[in-house]
Amino acid sequence: MNIKYIDIYETIKGDIASGKYKPGEKLPSENDYCKIFSTSRGTVRKALEMLSEEGLVNSLHGKGAFVLDSNLITFSFGGLVSFKEASENSNRDFITSIHMFEELTIDEELSKVTKLPKGSTVYKIYRIRELNGEKIILDINYFLKEAVYNLTKEIAKQSIYEYIEKTLNTKIGFAKRVIKVEAATLKDKENLNMKSYNFVVVVKNYVYLSNGIQFEYTESRHRPDRFEFVDFARRR
């Protein structure tokens, strides 16, 4: 039986999401998983590494892998996950609404901001993420049309990454990420429930396919009190 590491990753992730393994609880050992899935230790280890990159588990040398508390939605600096995946990991029920969906041509000024090629056609999308009746995240997306063709508002409301990988069968490779604090703009105040905050945390993502072609630029603008960004680092 040839079990791929991604299948093991999905199975363990599902066990954590369902509550089978609680925060702080130790997962079965690598040897146990090798027996469960009839696979090699290297395959199991790769699956556990993916879970670690998403902030779901922490592996301690000689002690095993332990489930981390994920009450908040966190985006790991070391991993590249969609918003849908991140929200599912933390068991939060977000509502996504589309406030803009249009096609436009990248001009020189926009090319400098997005790093997408001048003259290329993109989908420009505004997506607002709402939790418990509060609008707390504004995503401003630019997706290269030739890479993400036939994109629709309905797809954008669900998961664009899932559409790219499962429907278009295209491999997403890596991203350059910039995180900074900026003064809230009029657009932020119009689209988010800002309360008394006059600044937002801005996450800029320049995302590339596995062939090295950039297909996305996104500004994710967060109300500062509702999200935290976590980096899992190990001393080597």
Q: Is 3.40.1410.10 the CATH classification of the domain at 74-230?
A: yes
- Token match 């990988």: residue? 165
Whether pLDDT at 235 is above 80: no
pLDDT digits (tens, 9 = 90+) for 146-161: 999 999 999 999 999 9
Alpha helices in 54-200 (DSSP H): 83-89, 108-114, 153-158, 160-162, 186-191
Whether pLDDT at 72 is above 80: no
The pLDDT of residue 85: 53
The pLDDT of residue 231: 60
φ, ψ at 16 (rounded to 5°): -70, -45
Tell which residue, 68, 41, 72, has the closest CA to residue 55: 68
Residues 181/149, Cβ–Cβ less than 8 Å: no
Threshold 0.75, pTM exceeds: no
DSSP string covering 180-213: EEEEPPHHHHHHS--TT--EEEEEEEEEEETTS-
Q: Three-state DSSP class for 57?
A: strand
Whether pLDDT at 233 is above 70: no
Whether pLDDT at 104 is above 50: yes
Residues 33/9, Cβ–Cβ less than 8 Å: no
Tell which residue, 86, 92, 90, has the closest CA to residue 139: 86
Whether pLDDT at 58 is above 60: yes
Whether pLDDT at 3 is above 90: no
Residue range 28-52: average pLDDT? 90
CATH number among 2.40.50.100, 1.10.1040.10, 1.10.10.10, 3.40.1050.10, domain 5-67: 1.10.10.10
Do 5-67 and 74-230 have matching folds? no
pLDDT digits (tens, 9 = 90+) for 207-228: 999 888 999 999 999 998 877 6
Whether pLDDT at 134 is above 70: yes
Whether pLDDT at 1 is above 50: no
Q: Which of 17-21, 41-45, 110-114 has the lowest mean pLDDT?
A: 17-21
Mean pLDDT (the chain) is: 85
Q: Which of 55-64, 117-126, 131-140, 206-215 has the lowest mean pLDDT?
A: 55-64
**Annotated domain spans of the chain:** 5-67, 74-230
Residues 129/213, Cβ–Cβ less than 8 Å: no
The pLDDT of residue 97: 94
Structure tokens at 163: 């559409």
Whether pLDDT at 92 is above 80: no
The pLDDT of residue 30: 92
